[in-house]
Amino acid sequence: MVDSIQFTQSLLKWFHIHGRDLPWRQSHDPYEIWISEIMLQQTQVPRVEKIFYPQFLEKFPTIQSLASASWEDVYPVWKGLGYYSRGKNMLRTAQIIVQEFKGEFPNNADILATLPGIGQYTAHAILGFAFDQKVPAIDTNIQKIISILWPKSNIEERAKELISYSNSGRDWNGAMMDLASALRAGEAIPGQLGEYFQKNVQQKFAPIRKKVVITEKRKWHIEVGIACIHRDGKYLIQTRPEGKSFVGSWEFPGGKRETGEDLRACVKREIQEELGIEISVRPHFYEEMCQFNRVNLKLRFHRCQIQKGEPSPLEGQKLMWVSPKEFDNIQFLETNARALEKLKEMKV
């Protein structure tokens, strides 16, 4: 079995020579580290490093500047990263930290993990890189390294043991991440560390690529909750936000259901994120299945009313209140057509 102390010593020796020079590694500011971690969740390092990270910090250099912004301010800087819920969660978290923690990031993993968009991994990454705590930020790649070198170990316990032999939680986490990156790229690891990763072990780390004969394209199943918000005989509609298909067409607001989420709860969440209001959501009055090339789309339309707030276009979309008599004069998405007919028959 690989000796944990020797491995950690050789890992850190290698890292101090071959570690990546990334801009967020030059900072111990938890705000800047948090920004990088959220961006890196779904985006390749070079794009974050060269484009999105510097432009975001130029626009929002402090957590106070981000907290005082609206999604309409953040969207142009986030545009291109996709996964807009990440950006919206960042905005909400910044506001919570400024309002409830006086602008200071908590240095406690349990508290950090309760903030929007911050799970255990991101909480540990912030503690390790910003506060230099000996807390392992365990992602799938680090799990793989440990499972290869210590096949029968508890991964979390082994990681805690390994990081305990380092003088710096910051260095250990960075070293493990860079080692994973090098192994994924098939790089030769020099020195004593390389002895743990001979060719056969490195092949285990690399993803297995099998030749697959595709007989049928995979279908993606997506459920969308749609809010038909009514007030004073009219319904609230919006244009499609930039970055989405059919820009310029009108639709009812709403969005995709997240895994395990109730569809009515989904509608409430999406409207809060898109328009900044709280609504009541009735059971759906109409459901439609739409089939596209590789997507099965289930749409559920719900009549809703505003409970708190006034709608504000947080994603740069236009808003308009229209009566059912005006529906025929508006360019709606085709997927809304049958629901519109149903609404015409209802009392507002």
In angstroms, the CA 302 to CA 279 distance is 11
- Smallest CA-to-CA distance from 204 within 148, 150, 252 is with 148
Q: At CB < 8 A and 24+ separation, what contacts does 13-17 make?
A: 13/191, 13/192, 13/193, 14/175, 14/179, 14/189, 14/190, 14/191, 14/193, 15/171, 15/174, 15/175, 15/178, 15/179, 16/171
Task: Indicate which residue of 32, 37, 49, 273 is catalytic.
Answer: 37
Helix or strand holding residue 234 (H, E):
strand 234-239
Helix or strand holding residue 12 (H, E):
helix 4-18
Q: In 255-321, which ranges are continuous DSSP H helix?
A: 263-275
Distances (CA, A) of 19 to 14, 128, 142, 172: 7, 16, 16, 11
Helix or strand holding residue 256 (H, E):
strand 254-256
> Are the CB atoms for 217 and 183 separated by under 8 Å?
no
In angstroms, the CA 70 to CA 91 distance is 8
Which two structure tokens, joined as six digits, stand for 322?
Answer: 């229209």
Helix, strand, coil % in the chain, rounded to nearest 5: 50, 15, 35
- 345 classed as catalytic: no
Catalytic residues: 37
